[in-house]
């Protein structure tokens, strides 16, 4: 095999709580994550040139060692003494710096793709262990599906998938620093923590309504005061029939869960009429 094409799926947080900080500065979290059918296309091709070359359709993304796909490929090539190089093409569809794990999913796709290309026979668990060296979300992106994540996000428990629904995503025209958001949450006294256990119960019961009504993201307490449009988008989605609406990750993407495609399409059309620039996506569960 000389070439492989992979899909790197985005994720949304159905619930996100911060429960503490480790001595090394990493935050302890309790999250429920779900993969959605919004993805980047990743092509990995074996090259005779002994280096890793990354290309992307977005001019502003780094293609050197700052790129997580580059890091993932280099990690396995060096570990297994592979002499060939790789050409990696990233066709980006997941918004960048949006709370949807686009970069982490690219790194995960490259780890899985290189493992398959060179028949390294690494198990999923072994890939996840390596993925953690690249970022806390990478092990989840390797596993995919619905999961309860604890510790710094790397301790994962598979959950039943979100009941089939349609997901409207709105990426506002600015980026949010995840590092700064987590730093700011340390300075707040959080009184209302998300009902993570209720979200898990909703998934186990196959109840979309229970999941939607239980959703919560403690990081909204930092991001929304700085960017009130996030709250406006959440409220608008609820008015348009979403069962629940929330910011994903540290933001600024807002998503809404809709029972029917017709409701989601109608809401998307209405959102497109809001007079400021946004990226709007219609997706679904896998």
Q: How far apart are CA 79 and CA 114, in angstroms?
A: 12
Same domain? For 146 and 174 the reply is no
CATH number, position 131 = 3.30.230.10
Question: Catalytic annotation on 239?
Answer: no
Average pLDDT, the chain: 94
pLDDT of residue 22: 86
Same domain? For 13 and 147 the reply is yes
Exposed/middle/buried for 43, CB within 10 Å: 0-12, 13-18, 19+? middle
pLDDT of residue 49: 86
Q: pLDDT tens-digit profile of 94-135?
A: 999 899 999 999 999 999 999 999 999 999 999 999 999 999
Q: pLDDT tens-digit profile of 237-282?
A: 999 999 999 999 998 999 999 999 999 999 999 999 988 889 999 9
Same domain? For 181 and 147 the reply is no
Same domain? For 184 and 119 the reply is no
pLDDT of residue 175: 86
Given the residues 30, 92, 112, 137, the one annotated as active site: 137
Same domain? For 88 and 227 the reply is no
| Domain termination site, one of 142, 159, 176 | 159
Same domain? For 52 and 171 the reply is no
Look up the pTM and report it: 0.94
pLDDT of residue 52: 96
SS3 182: helix
Question: Catalytic annotation on 51?
Answer: no
Please tell me the total count of domains within the chain.
2
pLDDT of residue 26: 84
Average pLDDT score over residue span 34-62: 95
Average pLDDT score over residue span 13-37: 92
Same domain? For 239 and 113 the reply is no
Same domain? For 154 and 237 the reply is no
Given the residues 11, 92, 112, 234, the one annotated as active site: 11
Domain of residue 252 covers 166-284
Q: pLDDT tens-digit profile of 175-198?
A: 888 889 988 998 887 778 899 999
User: Please, which residues have CB within 8 angstroms of residue 91's CB and are 6 or more apart in sequence?
Assistant: 40, 41, 42, 43, 56, 57
pLDDT of residue 92: 97
Same domain? For 97 and 232 the reply is no
Average pLDDT score over residue span 13-23: 92
Q: Is the pLDDT of residue 1 over 80?
A: no
| Domain termination site, one of 94, 124, 159 | 159
Q: Identify whether the C-beta of residue 165 lies closer than 8 Å to the C-beta of residue 285.
A: yes
Same domain? For 9 and 125 the reply is yes
Q: Is the pLDDT of residue 7 over 90?
A: yes
CATH number, position 240 = 3.30.70.890
* Angle, CA of 32, 38 and 44, to the nearest 5°: 110
pLDDT of residue 176: 86
Q: pLDDT tens-digit profile of 36-45?
A: 999 999 999 9
Nearest Cα to Cα of residue 137 among 98, 175, 92: 98
Same domain? For 171 and 144 the reply is no
Same domain? For 9 and 104 the reply is yes
Q: How far apart are CA 105 and CA 136, in angstroms?
A: 11
| Adjacent-strand bridge partners of 18 | 29
| Domain termination site, one of 159, 174, 209 | 159
pLDDT of residue 166: 97
């Amino acid at each position: 095999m000389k070439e492989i094409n992979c899909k790197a799926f985005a994720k949304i947080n159905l619930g996100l709580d911060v429960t503490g900080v480790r001595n090394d500065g990493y935050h302890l979290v309790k999250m429920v994550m779900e993969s959605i059918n919004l993805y980047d296309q990743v092509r990995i091709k074996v090259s005779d040139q002994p280096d890793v070359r990354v290309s992307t359709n977005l001019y502003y993304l780094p293609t050197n060692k700052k790129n997580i796909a580059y890091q993932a490929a280099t990690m396995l090539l060096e570990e297994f003494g592979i002499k060939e190089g790789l050409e990696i093409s990233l066709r980006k569809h997941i918004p960048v710096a949006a709370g949807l794990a686009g970069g982490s999913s690219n790194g995960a796709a490259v780890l899985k793709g290189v493992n398959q290309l060179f028949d390294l026979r690494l198990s999923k668990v072994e890939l996840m262990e390596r993925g953690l060296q690249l970022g806390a979300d990478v092990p989840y992106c390797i596993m995919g599906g619905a999961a309860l994540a604890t510790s710094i996000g790397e301790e994962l428990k598979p959950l039943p998938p979100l009941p089939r629904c349609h997901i409207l995503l709105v990426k506002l025209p600015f980026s949010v620093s995840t590092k700064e958001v987590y730093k700011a949450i340390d300075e707040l006294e959080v009184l209302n923590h998300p009902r993570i256990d209720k979200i898990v119960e909703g998934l186990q019961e196959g109840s979309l309504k229970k999941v939607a009504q239980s959703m919560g993201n403690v990081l909204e307490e930092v991001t929304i005061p700085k960017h009130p449009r996030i709250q406006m988008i959440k409220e608008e989605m609820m008015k348009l029939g979403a069962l629940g609406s929330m910011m994903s990750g540290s933001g600024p993407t807002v998503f809404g869960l809709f029972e029917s495609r017709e409701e989601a399409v109608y809401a998307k059309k209405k959102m497109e009429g809001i007079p400021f620039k946004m990226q709007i996506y219609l997706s679904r569960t896998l």
